[in-house]
Amino acid sequence: MIDQPMLQVEGLTKSYAATGREPLTVLKAVDFSLAAGDSLAIVGPSGSGKTTLLGLCAGLDRPSDGTVSIAGISIGGLTEDGRAAVRNAHVGFVFQNFQLIPTLTALENVMVPLELRGEGGPAREADAQALLDRVGLGERSGHYPIQLSGGEQQRVALARAFINQPKILFCDEPTGNLDGDTAHRIVDLIFGLNREKGTTLVLVTHDSELAARCGRTIRLKNGSVVKEAAPAA
Amino acid sequence: MSARPDVSSARPGSLRFILKMAWRDSRASRRRLFLFSLSIVLGVAALVAIGSVGENLRTAIDREARGLLGADLEVSSRSKLTPEAETFLQGLGGRQALELSFPSMVVFPSAGGQTRLVTLRGMEGAYPFYGSFLTNPPEAAARIAAGEAVVVVEETLLSQFGLKPGDPVKLGTGTFTLAGGLQKIPGDSTGLTAMSPRVIMPLAQLESAGLTGAGSLVRHRSFFQFPEGFPVDRQVRELKSQFRELKLNTDTVAERKRGLGRAVESVDAFLSLVGFIALFLGAIGVASAMHVYVRQKLVTVAVLRCLGASSWQGFAVYLVQGLGIGIAGAALGTALGVALQQGLPWVAKRWLPFDVDFAISWAQVAQGFTAGVVICVLFTLLPLLAVRRVTPLSALRSSLGEGAGRPDPLRWLIWLLIGAAVTGFAIQQTPRWEVGLGFVAALILAFAVLTALARLTAWAARKFFPARAPYVWRQGVANLHRPQNRTVLLLLSLGLGTFLIVTMALTRATLLAQISGTGSGDRPNLLFFDIQQDQIEQLEKTLEEEKTPLLVKAPIVTMKLSRYKDRPVAEVAKDNSLNLPGWSLRREYRCTFRSTLTSTEKVTAGTFTPTVEPDTSPVPISMEQGLAREMQLGLGDALEFDVQGVTLKAVITSLREVEWRRMEPNFFILFPEGVLEGAPNFYVAATRTDNSSDSARIQQAVVSALPNVSAIDLGLVLETLDEIFSRVQLVVQLMALFTVFTGIIVLAGAVMGGRYQRLRETVLLRTLGASRKQLIWIQMVEYAILGLLGAVVGCALAVVANIALARWVFETAPVLEPVTLLLATLVVTAITLCTGWLANRSITDHPPLEILREET
């Protein structure tokens, strides 16, 4: 039996039409694949196409060309709702701005992916509570995002990302809005959970230290991969 | 290698998730959402209240149809029936009753001899056969039926003149005993009798008072009660065809029911449409508030999409909230409507000839509730469409927002549905579909004018406001044209409400001024009629003694048209190709002769001939231009009249415009002096009195000297008309107030919406050191301009509407009351300012960070 890549990207290109001018290509023919449990850091200067690549990999946007497969499912031919279903089933997210829903408590925020599947209820609530305990916020489960610090919000976001036991976790600058100490704790949690759950990890970062903790790194410049490297031993 | 995902994995809990998420997401905004829902409360309340009252009236009409007429058939005539006709009517069988009625003056000796023009009804037989003849004390009705020498007087007159049972009442040459007050008798609406109150007495007693058949305004009525299954309609047709020349009027239970039903439906339709404007306006308010609300939720939607929610689920979460707003608003509105319905009877009761049980009409409650929810949801869908296009990518890049660019065909579909719903409602509410479409067209026009003016205002504010004006002024004015401004919405709601209220006030002033003849202190205000030829000198003498000389004296000669343009009238009447109004050929013309024109008429074509030789033929006559138009007559056309047996040929040599509304003796046909002097005639005359006590004294003197002469005091008529108008105006103003209050709620909603929209800006200004006073000023400048503009535009539209109504409907000069306009402008502006200040005050009263924490 051949091992199936968890994330396969082939010839991924994204262009934007510009009135009266040549289309603007922000991502040019990117190829890579990741096996289950792998971790990848996407690095590069601002405007190099990192977030675009992450968005395309997660099915948040449609490529102009090329294909993306998540857990063996080619998401190119799927409708918006089809891609949403794939995300719900297989993908977790961590955003730079945390993106917790302000009107929900910490516990409710964590529960959202499950409830989208119709899997609410006391048993799953216990799972969510356990995850909050795991990120150190068991006592704060009834608090609203506005009542939490930035680091605490990001930990809730992490718990939410892992609640559906995703096969792949996408992180967009997960420490970009946090101070040094808090950032370290968040990074430790991401990699710790990643190992525990056997999740594939894709993260976009400016932080070279964080990138160095990933199994692989892709460096982008002007939308093209300029360097792909395994970490230094 | 690829596999299809299990897309359905997100479905099982879909509905539960949507409901749960909608509920949880609303936590921080429930107060705001509740405020949105209030926008439609008053519209729904108006629809439910009016619809229920209408339904109650229709039910009562169905139930009391017979009691409304008091008989199965009523036959009435202005002249005494021929023996053949009487034989025919007697042959109809069943139970029968007779009545003679005519206007007469009544004198109340116990009230210092005060007089009043009344409609005297002499009754014989057991009328009413259905319904009740209610008097106070109750036995008074029985005394009338027993033929005693008593009268029953309209109850309002009893209190007006301080009368009590047993007091004497003078009618003609007889004096009768007051048996009691008239509370109710079938056949008449008390509204209609307000002008001429009723006095009822036994028919046999009329003769003893020397009043039988006096004057020319006697109405003969016969009432019939038939056994069940009697072919009333067939007999009516037979009667009319056999006695065509008698011009009999008939009224049956079915006809009365149809007539009343139509009247109820027309009033109901008009008020419902005004109520619907309030609902429509409220729905626009909800849409506008939801637009702002949804924009704040786009990131939440994007996050949900990232977490696997489908676009439908994201959309549905907010659709459920929209539906919740609709249901809450409609439910509150329904409750308020039912409560209001309990209060409306006092307005309606006085005008109804029957009792109405004001019960809750569940059909109307359901209809009002459904209309509220449907309109609210349809309007909510417009801003919600954006949610479907939120790309999950905007969770990563906040600048992306909703997917823009491509036109959304669903948007057109929703506009189509809104158009269909509004048109459908209007057509359903109005008796004819053309009227419904007309209402929709008028609504579109009013909205278009107000929207265009609002846009013009925003444009002018941007273009012309001086750049060097103080900062708070610049910032306040800039709010009128900046993105997502509230200018259009507020001008629409405030303008429309002001327009409706001020139009009513101005129309009232115009009509009252027209009737009272404002500006001319020497016009006659006391009219005498039914003066016989040999009484006019006596009248002149009596008035001279009272030092109020006769100002107008017009002889009246009655005649009928016998030939129309050289063709016999009977032949012309059958000629359907001419399409002439039947009444114009059949009526008894009351004409006068004189050599001068009065101040209420002017010649518009031809030349008026003042005098002619006695044997002139054809006689040159002057015709009122409206009648000439209806009868398709012009200058030079020949007519022939039957003047009580004598044939008189005439030719039209002039047309006149007559100001009918001035309550002075006016005539359709005016003869020159010289030909009619010898014909049997009677007179109408008029004088002027300075006050009501003079008027009462003079009427008393005239009635004592000439008992058959009737008088109308225009001061009293004005008072009565004013009262009638006040009540109508009250109902219409109540409806218009619903629109204005809806406007205020919409304003509060918009201010609240804007408050979130502008929160960061306000906090930023606060952080940069803006004082509370400055922040308040910025807001007040914006609201003052909006309130002032809404009021001014509403007043301007009302002035235009009043001019149009005066010119084309009432045919008079419009009255523009500056005080009303000024007052409306000040009140609307003040209300806008207060609402704006109240809705915003917490932002200016608290530290910026505290607000940010609370509001996000």
In the prediction, which pLDDT does B399 show?
53
Question: What are the C-alpha distances in Å from A145 to residues A102, A110, A172, B368, B543?
Answer: 6, 12, 19, 41, 92
What confidence score (pLDDT) does residue B401 get? 47
Which residues of chain A does B10 touch, with a Cβ-Cβ cutoff of 8 Å?
A: 84-85, 88, 116-118
Closest to B292 measured CA to CA, from B486, B43, B37: B486
- Residues from A in contact with B at Cβ < 8 Å: 4, 51, 54-55, 58, 60-61, 69, 72-74, 77-78, 80-82, 84-89, 91, 93, 95, 97, 99-104, 108, 112-113, 115-120, 146, 160, 164, 172
Six token digits for residue B516: 């009272």
Q: How far apart are CA A133 and CA A156, in angstroms?
A: 10
CA B709 to chain CA mean position, Å: 35
Instruction: Choose among B13, B25, B312: nearest Cβ to A103.
Output: B25
Contact (CB<8Å) B393/A60: yes
What residue in A sits closest to B396 (Cα-Cα)?
Answer: A95
- Tell me the average pLDDT across A122-133: 90
Q: Are B10 and B309 in contact (CB under 8 A)?
A: yes
What DSSP state is assigned to residue B324?
H
Chain A residues with beta carbon closer than 8 angstroms to that of B2:
69, 72-74, 77
Reported ipTM exceeds the 0.85 cut: no
Condensed to tens digits (0 to 9), the pLDDT of residues B632-663 reads 999 999 999 988 788 899 999 999 988 766 66
What are the tokens at B560? Answer: 């009928």
pLDDT tens digits for A197-214? 889 999 999 888 889 999
Contact predicate B642/B559, CB 8 Å: yes
**pLDDT for B691:** 73
Q: Which pLDDT does position B7 carry in this prediction?
A: 43
* pLDDT for position B519: 37
CA angle B449, B451, B456 (to 5 degrees): 95
Helix (H) or strand (E) holding A94: strand A91-94
pLDDT on residue B457:
81
What CA–CA distance (Å, rounded) separates B427 from B442?
13
Looking at chain A, which residue has its C-alpha nearest residue B853?
Answer: A146
Q: Which residue numbers in chain B have pLDDT < 50?
A: 1-10, 190-192, 214, 216, 401-404, 518-520, 853, 855-856
What is the structure's pLDDT at B347? 58
Cβ neighbours around B234 below 10 Å, total: 9
Whether B308 and chain A come into contact, CB under 8 Å, resolves to yes
In this prediction, residue B481 carries a pLDDT of 77
In which element (H, E) is residue B763 found? helix B759-767
Asked whether the beta carbons of residue A95 and residue B395 sit closer than 8 angstroms, the reply is yes
Q: What pLDDT, on the 0 to 100 scale, is given for residue A79?
A: 82
CB contact under 8 A, A78 and B312: no
Touching A: B residues 395-424, CB under 8 Å: 395-398
Residues of A with Cβ-Cβ distance to B392 under 8 angstroms? 60, 84, 87
Contact status, residue B149 vs residue B176, Cβ threshold 8 Å = yes
Read off φ and ψ for residue B234, nearest 5 degrees.
-65, -40
pLDDT score recorded for residue B809: 67
* Residue of chain A minimizing CA distance to B16: A118
Q: Measuring CA to CA, which residue among B385, B371, B366 is closest to residue B418? A: B371
Q: What are B36-72's pLDDT values in tens digits?
A: 888 888 888 888 887 887 777 777 777 777 777 788 8
Q: Is B391 on the interface with A (CB under 8 A)?
A: yes
**DSSP E strands, A5-78:** 7-18, 21-34, 39-43, 65-70, 73-74
Compute CA distances B603 → B635, B637, B656, B657, whole Å: 12, 17, 4, 6
Residue B669 amino acid letter:
I
HEC string for B546-569 = CCCCCCEEEEEEEEEEEEECCEEH
CB-based contact B595:B673 (threshold 8 Å): yes
Q: Which helix (H) or strand (E) holds B283?
A: helix B253-306
Distance CA A105, CA A107 (A): 5
Nearest chain A Cα to B10, which residue? A117
**Residue B454 in 3-state DSSP?**
helix
Mutate to test the interface with B, among A16, A74, A105, A112 (most CBs of B within 10 A): A112
Which among B221, B222, B213, B220 is positioned nearest to B104, based on CA atoms? B213
C-alpha to C-alpha distance for B445 and B460, rounded to whole angstroms: 22
pLDDT of residue A68: 94
Handedness of CA B811, B816, B820, B821 (dihedral sign): positive
Pairing relationship of beta strands A200-204 and B682-687 according to DSSP bridges: unpaired
DSSP state at residue B353:
S
- Type of residue numbered B26: S
Distance CA A48, CA A32 (A): 17
- For helices B30-69 and B714-757, the axis angle rounded to 10 degrees is 160
What are the helix and strand counts (H, E) for chain B? 26, 21
Q: Say if CB B496 and CB B709 are below 8 A apart.
A: no
What contacts B834, CB < 8 A, 6 or more positions away?
Answer: none
Residues 6+ apart with CB under 8 A from B162: B110, B111
For B340-372, write each residue's pLDDT tens digit.
877 766 655 655 555 666 778 888 889 889 988
Whether B16 and A108 lie within 8 Å, measured CB to CB: no
User: Cβ A85–B7 below 8 Å, yes or no?
Assistant: yes
Count CB atoms within 10 A of the CB of residue B654. 19
Task: Please answer yes or no on whether B392 and A82 come within 8 Å at the CB atom.
Answer: no
Rounded Cα distance between B279 and B46, Å, is 9
Touching check for B31 and chain A: CB below 8 Å? no
Residue B234 touches chain A, beta carbons under 8 Å = no
CA distance B219 to B396: 88
pLDDT for A1 equals 41
Mean pLDDT, chain A, whole residue set: 87
- Does the CB of B21 have a partner CB in chain A at under 8 Å? yes
Q: What is the pLDDT of residue B218?
A: 77
Residue contact A87–B300, C-beta within 8 A: no
pLDDT at A233: 42
Contacts of B373 (CB under 8 A, 6+ apart): B323, B326, B327, B330
- Region of residue A140 (phi > 0: left; psi between -120 and 50: alpha; otherwise: beta): alpha
Q: Contact B293/B380 with Cβ under 8 angstroms?
A: no
Q: Which of A121, A64, A57, A61 is nearest to A92 (CA)?
A: A57
Q: What count of other Cβ atoms lies within 10 Å of the Cβ of residue B468? A: 5
- B856 contacts A87? CB cut-off 8 A: no
Distance from CA of A89 to the nearest CA of B (A): 8
